[in-house]
Amino acid sequence: MGNSLYLVVLNVLGQLFACSLVAYAFARLRFYGRDILFGILLATMMLPSQVTMIPVFLIFKSFGWYDTLKPLWVGSFFGSAFNIFLLRQFFMTIPQDLEDAAKIDGCSFFGTYWRILLPLVRPALATVAIFTFMGTWNEFMGPLIYIGSQSLTPLSLGLFMFRSEHGGEWGMMMAASTLMTLPVVVIFFFAQRYFIQGVTLTGMGGK
């Protein structure tokens, strides 16, 4: 449980910060090659994870990160193409007048992002947080590849190991499955309003 919570917190924080910052740059800043870079970013979504699995594993192993939790959370601080696209579309729905007013008041680009725009995209941020939480909480392949020590095992891999040892004890299996499922249900129940807003409003009014 501790390993899963550790991974969830770091992945959510990394995705929220990195994706929102990159999405703000693609949506509100003007620089050479912006649209080309954004197209390349979207093109990475067409690559299946199975294609890059072995090269990424070799890279992390060369860093000495095998049998550590670092491969399971460091990548989140470099963003995700889908989350960046989601937040970019939401940033583009915000009127330009708010940003112009912030510039007149002497606010920097980062200050405009942090103080003005970021609070206005909370529904989209909640959507990204929910997607990241569910993906990290249910992640099985990553821990199976990178984790060798039982002390570093998250719940998803631990439940698989538990089923191998206690497959015939249905009471214990149901208790373990409930422990795995309950946090996802609780989080979605309390954040469903922001989740629905983020999905329905993203892309409206964008160009």
Q: Which of 71-85, 116-130, 152-166 has the highest mean pLDDT?
A: 71-85
Question: What is the number of structural domains in the chain?
Answer: 1
pLDDT grade, residue 93 (50/70/90)?
confident
Tell me the CATH number at 80.
Answer: 1.10.3720.10
Establish if 206 belongs to a structural domain: no
Establish if 99 belongs to a structural domain: yes
- Between the CA of residue 35 and those of 29, 39, 107, 129, what are the distances in Å? 11, 6, 25, 26
For residues 137 and 4, is the Cβ–Cβ distance under 8 A?
yes
Give residue-wise pLDDT tens across range 56-68.
999 999 999 999 9
Give residue-wise pLDDT tens across range 124-150.
898 899 889 989 998 999 999 999 888
- C-alpha to C-alpha distance for 88 and 79, rounded to whole angstroms: 13
Least confident of 100-104, 168-172, 182-186: 168-172
Count of positions (residues) in the chain: 207
Establish if 207 belongs to a structural domain: no
Domain range for residue 34?
2-201
Show the CA angle centred on residue 21, arms to residues 60 and 124, nearest 5°.
105
